[in-house]
């Protein structure tokens, strides 16, 4: 089930990240082709401000993924709704305040970004910021709502929203350069309008009765806001590091080869951001699923998840790297039509960028796993090291000695050195090779349950129910439980599994899967059922006189605690029974 879930989530995450980055990529192409190299340099100068918008949205989105994955792992829908309510309120407040601030201060901001205090570069930088910042509420809103759409299993709507955004951005950009001649302000405004289109499409779900999340002002508390901030801060470190890196690279490149090098860097950054959709996808899956498995104290699922993500990192990194190496001349030509130094610099830089993609995927998987499992400080340090410190140092050392060719090593060498740093850290902390027994996860020795206190089984047919039920009964007896408790646990499994197969598996004629997990923890027995059928809440589905509910009522009567959540297109039911 984990393999299928990872594949589905990764596809949606990568597609979403790729399409969102295409808006900026399209802007860059249109700017380079129709407005010229100087306009491309103005975009590069404005880019740090755009990254700040992304940083705020990414912070709240990451906070949502961590906080809500924890509450889903604990089976608390009210806590999930509290996170949803707080995230919506914070997004509205932050985006509006930031929009007003940039509109008022765009002149000094443009100067601070290296565009000077007068001249065409200065004017175009201000204009682009003004147009783009009008879309801050929509762009930040989209980043925050994406994890909720995924948790609700609305991947189709997510894809529709980002596709519509991309098509709209292309159309509006063309209208700007061919019809309205709105210059850099029009290019920024086109992106803003396309983000609003994506947001409106997403709201069709969130404003419908089908939405599994409920907004409530009563649930917006200081504690929940603080939890979102704390959980999302590592993402801010990552985005802030990107802002610092872009600022440092622009300053360095301007000193080496002036606006020509800055224009080449804008091309590399734009194409690189699009290529990094695989890194974003891997990191997003790691953040969400690691949080759920961590709060279920499921060590084996965490190890399986990371092993899968590492494999995808290699495959996707090689594939995307090959695309960059082969397609570099084409990509550079989309931005810079004329042959010359800027185009040649961009081609070389893109090919060198490809060398860091595998390492970047691995780093994202690990950083987000650390964040989801409570090692927030470590994630923040790694974000700074990977995003700003190492690439900036690499760019300075090699850029000042080898020119722009050396500066382009900032990404591949920075990412590879980060992997090395993580490996050394794991060895120091655990005294083990990072790849042995999941040492790279840095979990505490007493995390979860030992293998002898855990029983896991997968059920696909009714014939397997009785066998798993009997296996569970013998498992309990071996752990010293009374025949009564052992029979209760076996009966719980038999009733819930039979009900799922009879009423869930037959709904749509598709092949389905039920996962059963039994944990023995001190004085408790914990049973977890997870299936990929349609949403069904057995905790609240108990109707008097309903013969189909007899088994559910029986199970609830035996369980001390029962919690249910529906997330990631999965039904998740957890039951606690007292041991004797």
Q: What is the pLDDT of residue 580?
A: 59
> Are 189 and 130 in a shared domain?
yes
Tell me: do 477 and 429 sit in the same domain. no
Q: Give the CATH number, domain containing residue 518.
A: 3.30.565.10
Whether 546 maps to a domain, the answer reads yes
Write out the residue range of the structural domain in which residue 376 sits: 2-441
Separation CA 415–CA 321 (nearest Å) = 14
Query: Pairing state of beta strands 454-459 and 514-521?
Result: antiparallel
Do residue 462 and residue 533 come from a single domain?
A: yes
Q: Does residue 129 belong to any structural domain of this protein?
A: yes
Pair 303, 418 in one domain: yes
Q: Does residue 408 sit within a domain? A: yes
CB 62 within 8 A of CB 371: yes
CB 281 within 8 A of CB 17: yes
Last residue of a domain, one of 407, 441, 475: 441
Q: Are residues 468 and 356 in the same domain?
A: no
Q: Is the same domain home to 390 and 315?
A: yes
What's the confidence (pLDDT) of residue 110? 87
- Find out whether 213 and 206 touch, Cβ atoms under 8 Å: yes
Same domain, 431 and 461: no
DSSP letters, 507-576, are SSS----EEEEEEEETTEEEEEEEE-SS---TTT---TT-GGGHHHHHHHHH-SEEEEEEETTEEEEEEE
- State the Cα–Cα distance between residues 293 and 568, nearest whole angstrom: 13
Residue 155 inside a domain? The answer is yes
How many structural domains does the chain have? 2
The answer as to whether 551 is a domain residue is: yes
Query: Are the C-beta atoms of 568 and 528 separated by less than 8 Å?
Result: no
Verify that 101 and 161 share a domain, yes or no. Answer: yes
State how far the Cα of 370 lies from the Cα of 542, in Å rounded to an integer: 40
Claim to verify: residue 55 and residue 193 sit in the same structural domain = yes
Q: How far apart are CA 516 and CA 538, in angstroms?
A: 16
Return the pLDDT at 544: 46
How far apart are alpha carbons 410 and 181 in whole angstroms?
37
The whole-number pLDDT of residue 358 equals 95
pLDDT at 550: 53
Asked if 384 contacts 237 with a C-beta cutoff of 8 angstroms, the reply is yes
Are 268 and 209 in the same domain? yes
Low-confidence ranges of the chain (pLDDT < 50): 543-545
- As beta bridge partners, residue 563 has 574
Domain-located, residue 333 = yes
Single residue among 390, 419, 441 that ends a domain in this structure: 441
- Per the domain annotation, does 446 fall within a domain? no
User: How far is the C-alpha of 376 from the C-alpha of 233, rounded, in Å?
Assistant: 8
- If you search the block for the tokens 């004629």, which residue do you land on? 509
Helix ranges restricted to H, 152-298: 155-175, 183-206, 222-275, 277-295
Are residue 470 and residue 431 in the same domain, yes or no? no
Asked if 268 and 408 touch (Cβ cutoff 8 Å), the reply is yes
Tokens of 488: 């209760």
Q: Are residues 283 and 161 both part of a single domain?
A: yes
Give the pLDDT score at 520: 81
Taking alpha carbons only, the member of 141, 144, 191, 147 closest to residue 165 is 191
> Model pTM greater than 0.85?
no
Closest CA to 58 of 241, 268, 314: 241
Radius of gyration of the chain (CA): 26
Per-residue pLDDT at 3: 79
Q: In what order do the strands lie in the sheet with 514-521?
A: 454-459, 514-521, 524-531, 570-578, 561-567
pLDDT at 19: 66
Please tell me the total number of residues recorded for the chain in this structure.
Answer: 580
Residue 112 to residue 116: CA distance in whole angstroms = 8
Domain boundary among 418, 441, 464: 441
Is 479 inside any structural domain? yes
Identify the sign of the CA torsion 300, 301, 302, 305: positive
CB 242 within 8 A of CB 414: no
C-alpha pair distances (Å), 528 with each of 243, 517, 573, 574: 43, 5, 6, 4
Euclidean distance between CA atoms 249 and 64, whole angstroms: 31
| CB atoms inside a 10 Å sphere around CB 254 | 18
């Amino acid at each position: 089930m984990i393999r299928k879930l990872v594949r589905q989530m990764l596809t949606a995450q990568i597609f979403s990240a790729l399409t969102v980055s295409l808006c900026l990529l399209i802007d860059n192409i249109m700017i380079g082709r129709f407005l010229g190299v100087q306009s491309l340099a103005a975009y590069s100068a404005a880019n740090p401000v755009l990254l700040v918008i992304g940083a705020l949205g990414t912070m709240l989105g990451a906070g949502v993924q961590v906080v809500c994955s924890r509450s889903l792992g604990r089976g608390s829908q009210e806590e999930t709704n509290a996170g949803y309510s707080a995230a919506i309120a914070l997004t509205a407040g932050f985006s509006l305040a930031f929009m007003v601030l940039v509109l008022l201060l765009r002149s000094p901001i443009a100067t601070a970004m290296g565009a000077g205090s007068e001249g065409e570069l200065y004017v175009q930088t201000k204009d682009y910021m003004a147009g783009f910042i009008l879309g801050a509420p929509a762009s930040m809103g989209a980043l925050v709502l994406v994890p909720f759409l995924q948790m609700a299993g609305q991947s189709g709507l997510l894809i529709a929203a980002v596709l519509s955004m991309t098509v709209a951005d292309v159309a509006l950009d063309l209208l700007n350069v061919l019809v309205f001649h709105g210059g850099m302000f029009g290019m920024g405004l086109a992106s803003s309008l396309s983000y609003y289109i994506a947001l409106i499409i997403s709201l069709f779900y969130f404003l419908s009765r089908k939405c599994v999340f409920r907004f409530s002002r009563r649930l917006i508390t200081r504690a929940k806001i603080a939890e979102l901030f704390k959980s999302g801060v590592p993402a801010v470190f990552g985005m802030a590091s990107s802002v610092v890196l872009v600022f440092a690279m622009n300053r360095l490149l301007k000193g080496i080869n002036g606006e020509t090098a800055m224009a080449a860097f804008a091309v590399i950054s734009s194409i690189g951001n699009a290529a990094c959709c695989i890194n974003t996808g891997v990191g997003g899956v790691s953040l969400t699923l690691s949080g759920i498995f961590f709060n279920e104290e499921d060590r084996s699922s965490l190890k399986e998840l990371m092993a899968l993500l590492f494999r995808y990192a290699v495959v996707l990194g090689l594939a995307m790297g090959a695309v960059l190496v082969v397609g570099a001349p084409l990509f550079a030509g989309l931005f810079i039509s004329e042959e010359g130094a800027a185009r040649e610099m961009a081609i070389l830089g893109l090919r060198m960028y490809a060398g860091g993609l595998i390492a970047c995927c691995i780093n994202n998987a690990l950083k987000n796993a650390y964040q989801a499992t409570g090692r927030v400080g470590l994630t923040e340090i790694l974000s700074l090291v990977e995003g700003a410190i190492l690439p900036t140092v690499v760019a300075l050392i090699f850029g000042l000695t080898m020119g722009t060719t050396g500066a382009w090593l900032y990404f591949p060498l920075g990412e590879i050195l980060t992997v090395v740093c993580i490996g050394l850290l794991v060895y120091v902390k655990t005294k083990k090779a990072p790849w042995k027994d999941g040492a790279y996860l840095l979990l505490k020795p007493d995390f979860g349950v030992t293998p002898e206190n855990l029983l896991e089984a997968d059920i696909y047919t009714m014939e397997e129910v009785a066998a798993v039920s009997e296996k569970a009964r013998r498992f309990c007896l071996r752990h010293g439980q009374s025949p009564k408790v052992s029979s209760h646990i076996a009966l719980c499994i038999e009733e819930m599994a039979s009900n799922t197969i009879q009423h869930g598996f037959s709904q749509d004629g598709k092949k389905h899967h039920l996962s059963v997990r039994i944990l023995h923890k001190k004085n408790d027995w914990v049973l977890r059922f997870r299936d990929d059928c349609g949403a069904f809440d057995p905790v609240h589905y108990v109707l008097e006189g309903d013969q189909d509910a007899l088994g559910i009522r029986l199970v609830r009567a035996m369980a001390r605690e029962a919690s249910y959540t529906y997330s990631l297109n999965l039904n998740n039911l957890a039951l606690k029974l007292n041991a004797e």
